[in-house]
Homo-oligomer: A and B are copies of this chain.
Amino acid sequence: MQDLDANDITDAVIAQMADTPDPRLREIMEAAVRHQHAFAREVKLTPEEWLKGIAFATAVGQACTPYRQEFILLSDILGLSRLVNAMHDATGREEVGTETSLLGPFFREQAPKIALGGTIAHVKSGPEIVLYGQVTDPAGKPVPDAQMDVWQTGADGLYDLQAHDPSVMDMRGQLRCDAEGRFHFRTVKPIGYPIPMDGPVGDLVTHQNRHGFRPAHIHVLISAPGYRELVTALYFGDDEHVDSDTVFGVSASLVVHDRLDLPDAPIPGLPSIRYDFTLSQESGSGGGRVGSDPSRLAPAG
């Protein structure tokens, strides 16, 4: 007969999961139970608080739609996404590539293809800027023909997925770098924006007295055969929240400034940013994206 108090319930649960055939699932679930129980014991979680937690998790799940992933947002504001990212960055690389940043909930597969020098601002307009640079390996050797996805808010602080008709793609594009790894494209300067504040995660952030803003940034995803997929973002140094990102995505090496005085700017007269990306060699473990197209996670209902 199991007579379990608050101290031995943990071992009883782990014992009941001991026959899990997949050793990794067993390892993860055992650790999850140990840490979850340690949390509940540390704060002496009451039944009322437990019930609030159940209601919160339920609300987060029910806020997910094909165009919104509230659990990724929760992971982001709790720093879990950044932590998983940081651990992934530190593994399996022979040399150091460009630092990564969060994929976030707004990536979409099959963005419109644009030619080098084209613009990703198809619908919305605003002050134009140019992003250009070169993709190389850690030794500085050009990576030819890398594929680059870029996506960002418009000058209104909104992604296309947040527009009235989220099926229209805008402020995102897919381009192919040239044989020397060079790229350049036009866009409008994004502005910082709050995370979606109308759901349970926004409620939590409000109750925590956090501003809820991300600094202005441009997401970049680069892939090329033989190299680890790079998921990163460039952050604008003139944004007031560049030091207090609500989802902890900023690294110093990813902060940029648009300038008019760059001698090799490909489109003179427009504020420009030069950023050179470094891809690290593919390791055995393969690439991994912290985040995903929400339509691949939420049921279509």
Query: Which of these, B47, B49, B62, B298, contacts A85 with CB under 8 Å?
Result: B47
Interface residues of A in 31-62 (CB under 8 A from B): 31-51, 54-55, 57-62
| Chain B residues whose CB sits within 8 angstroms of the CB of A17 once the complex forms | 208, 210
Contact B55 A22, beta carbon cutoff 8 Å: no
| Chain B residues whose CB sits within 8 angstroms of the CB of A40 once the complex forms | 80, 83-84, 87
| A47 closest partner in B (C-beta) | B288
Contact A20 B208, beta carbon cutoff 8 Å: yes
Instruction: Taking A50-B80, A54-B69, A57-B57 as given, write out 16 further A-B residue pairs in contact, using a Cβ cutoff of 8 Å, ordered by the A residue number.
Output: A5-B86, A6-B83, A6-B87, A16-B248, A22-B207, A35-B39, A36-B78, A40-B87, A46-B84, A47-B288, A47-B290, A51-B291, A51-B292, A58-B298, A59-B61, A61-B62
- Between A and B, 12 residue pairs with Cβ closer than 8 Å are A1-B252, A6-B86, A16-B244, A16-B246, A20-B208, A40-B87, A41-B87, A46-B87, A54-B72, A57-B60, A59-B299, A62-B64
Q: Which residues of A contact B (CB under 8 A)?
A: 1-6, 9-10, 12-13, 16-17, 19-22, 24-29, 31-51, 54-55, 57-62, 64, 69, 71-72, 75, 78-88, 90-91, 204, 207-210, 242-246, 248, 250-253, 255, 285, 288-292, 297-299, 301
